[in-house]
Amino acid sequence: MKTNLVLKNAAFAATGILMLLSSACKKETNPEVNKVETTTTKRTDALGASGPKSVCYVEVNYADIRNVGNYKLTTGEQLFDIGIIFAANINYNTSTQTAELYFNQQVSNVLTNRNTYIQPLQDRGIKVLLSILGNHQGAGICNFPNQAAAQAFAQQLANAVNTYNLDGIDFDDEYANYGANGTGQPNASSFVYLVTALRQLLPNKIISFYYYGPAASRLSYNGVTVGSKINYSWNAMYGTYSVPSVPGLSAANLGPAAIDIQATSSATAASLATQTVNNNYGIYLTYNLPNNDVHTYLSSFSNNLYGKATVYDTSLGTGVRFFADVNYAGYGTGIIPKGNYTLSQLQKFGFENDWASSIKIPSGWTVTMYANDNFTGQSWTLTSNNTNFVGLSPNANDAVSSIKIQ
């Protein structure tokens, strides 16, 4: 059993979202189970390594989210693909009888100082999500009374993602205390309405579900499944292996293994990693990354996931970054240093074939892009940032397969 840790509260306001009393709580066990399906399938490999995607929750009330980016495999690739800020809250406004998104002081600090805490991770190619859970006030993801209420809260979440340039939202159905303040009990439509609205607002962002609580048995309504709207779901019981029952999500989008870095033994972490690989699941979930160097512990599962140990490296480095969309938007690769890269080598940095639309290049560097693998076909030479490959002659948008960086 995991313990319940109630953390500090703070009162303040921030851009476009009222931020008052809030608390983030440590995760617990005893999930309720059931249904789901996916429309948007993201890459399932770890950044630069063949194997499951590594996901890491960080309790930002006492740990630095940037530490997610300090762990690499011995061959240089990042260990973690996704870092999750744990956690923002759903509060209940008794005057308006509506749910409100709240951040405590520590979460607000990370978000409002995104260039300090979030951008360094994204520069490494790591996706940063914001976890959302209840706050003991009766409001949660499972009791929106109607579609309009769910859509209104989805808009608050989308505003936060867009304001702080996050990569998505993680849902966690804990600590709602359904029924408090006269709120309703969980209903069948709430979570489906919420993720449907959020997917419409954020069509290209990640939406994940921590498989836990009443939401885990309320994943389908009126022919629509949560699984058709989200990207990933993972087991919520640390130190165990249990496949989330989410119809519509393939094995590549599910994480049956979950560990608490500060509580799960290295032997168990290694065993769960082996099961994940042997059963072809695409996610390996970790929680509670501390500020101190724990690369030896992390190697216990990275060796089994990727055949490589983990090292601790705080240097960011300099290099080229490609982006899926124009104006440096959408998915971004990790930092690519000087060298010649075939498609398979580029994929180690999160690059995809015929996919890039913009690029950031360090001052004084030269990048030659090729339409075909192995440095063949049409080529384009760039010596500075380019916001839109459509403007190149000929059009290079979604056409690059190999590169040389000097």
| Boundary of a domain, candidates 312, 347, 379 | 312
SS3 call for 328 = helix
How far is 365 from 356, CA to CA, in rounded Å?
18
How far is 42 from 254, CA to CA, in rounded Å?
12
Q: Which residue has the higher pLDDT, 287 or 76?
A: 287
- CATH number at 244 reads 3.20.20.80
Check whether residue 99 and residue 195 sit in a common domain: yes
- Tell me if 6 is assigned to some domain: no
**Beta carbons within 10 angstroms of residue 237's beta carbon:** 18
- The pLDDT of residue 144: 98
pLDDT tens-digit readout, 361-382 = 999 999 999 999 999 999 999 9
- Tell me if 3 is assigned to some domain: no
What residues act catalytically? 174
Check whether residue 81 and residue 222 sit in a common domain: yes
How far is 48 from 72, CA to CA, in rounded Å?
10
Q: At CA 169, angle to CA 349 and CA 268, rounded to 5?
A: 70
- Tell me if 97 is assigned to some domain: yes
When pLDDT is cut at 50, 70 and 90, the band that residue 22 belongs to is very low
What is the rounded average pLDDT of the residues 30-57?
A: 54
Check whether residue 293 and residue 219 sit in a common domain: yes
Check whether residue 248 and residue 106 sit in a common domain: yes
Check whether residue 204 and residue 295 sit in a common domain: yes
What is the rounded average pLDDT of the residues 78-83?
A: 95
- The pLDDT of residue 46: 52
| Boundary of a domain, candidates 265, 281, 312 | 312
How far is 171 from 176, CA to CA, in rounded Å?
12
User: What total number of domains does the chain contain?
Assistant: 2
**CB-CB contact of 244 with 224 (8 Å):** no
- The pLDDT of residue 20: 34
When pLDDT is cut at 50, 70 and 90, the band that residue 49 belongs to is low
pLDDT tens-digit readout, 328-370 = 887 778 788 899 999 988 887 778 899 999 999 999 999 999 9
- The pLDDT of residue 351: 87
pTM of this structure: 0.75
Q: Which residue has the higher pLDDT, 128 or 41?
A: 128
For the record, the structure tokens of 264 come out as: 């799960």
Given a cut of 80, whether residue 41 has pLDDT beyond it is: no
Check whether residue 76 and residue 208 sit in a common domain: yes
pLDDT tens-digit readout, 94-103 = 999 999 999 9
H-only helix segments in 81-126: 105-112, 114-117, 119-123
Which contacts (CB < 8 Å, 24+ apart) does range 271-278 have?
A: 272/239, 272/240, 272/241, 272/301, 273/300, 273/301, 273/302, 273/303, 273/304, 273/305, 274/304, 275/241, 276/52, 276/241, 276/305, 277/51, 277/52, 277/304, 277/305
How far is 36 from 13, CA to CA, in rounded Å?
36
Given a cut of 90, whether residue 265 has pLDDT beyond it is: yes
* Nearest of 195, 186, 262, 190 to residue 226 by alpha carbon: 195
* Least confident stretch, 26-30, 337-341, 391-395: 26-30
- The pLDDT of residue 248: 86
Given a cut of 90, whether residue 10 has pLDDT beyond it is: no
Check whether residue 308 and residue 356 sit in a common domain: no
Given a cut of 60, whether residue 2 has pLDDT beyond it is: no
Given a cut of 80, whether residue 45 has pLDDT beyond it is: no
When pLDDT is cut at 50, 70 and 90, the band that residue 48 belongs to is low
- The pLDDT of residue 102: 98
| Boundary of a domain, candidates 312, 330, 346 | 312
When pLDDT is cut at 50, 70 and 90, the band that residue 38 belongs to is very low
Check whether residue 99 and residue 162 sit in a common domain: yes
Range of the domain at 344: 321-405
When pLDDT is cut at 50, 70 and 90, the band that residue 82 belongs to is very high
Check whether residue 325 and residue 305 sit in a common domain: no
- Tell me if 4 is assigned to some domain: no
* Nearest of 400, 301, 366 to residue 49 by alpha carbon: 301
Check whether residue 191 and residue 328 sit in a common domain: no
When pLDDT is cut at 50, 70 and 90, the band that residue 314 belongs to is confident
- The pLDDT of residue 316: 63
**CB-CB contact of 61 with 114 (8 Å):** no
- Tell me if 246 is assigned to some domain: yes
When pLDDT is cut at 50, 70 and 90, the band that residue 51 belongs to is confident
pLDDT tens-digit readout, 141-200 = 999 999 999 999 999 999 999 999 999 999 999 999 999 999 999 999 999 999 999 999
Q: What is the crossing angle of helices 190-201 and 147-163, to 10°?
A: 40
- Across the chain, mean pLDDT equals 88
Check whether residue 182 and residue 125 sit in a common domain: yes
C-alpha Rg value of the chain to the nearest Å: 21
When pLDDT is cut at 50, 70 and 90, the band that residue 212 belongs to is very high
- CATH number at 380 reads 2.60.20.10
Among residues of the chain, what percentage have pLDDT more than 70?
Answer: 87
Which residues, including other chains, have CB under 8 Å from residue 344's CB and lie 6 or more apart?
none
Which residues, including other chains, have CB under 8 Å from residue 69's CB and lie 6 or more apart?
78, 80, 83, 120, 121, 124, 126, 316
Which residues, including other chains, have CB under 8 Å from residue 238's CB and lie 6 or more apart?
2, 27, 29, 258, 259, 260, 263, 264, 287
Given a cut of 90, whether residue 19 has pLDDT beyond it is: no
- Tell me if 1 is assigned to some domain: no
Check whether residue 339 and residue 294 sit in a common domain: no
- Tell me if 73 is assigned to some domain: yes
- Tell me if 5 is assigned to some domain: no
How far is 74 from 72, CA to CA, in rounded Å?
6
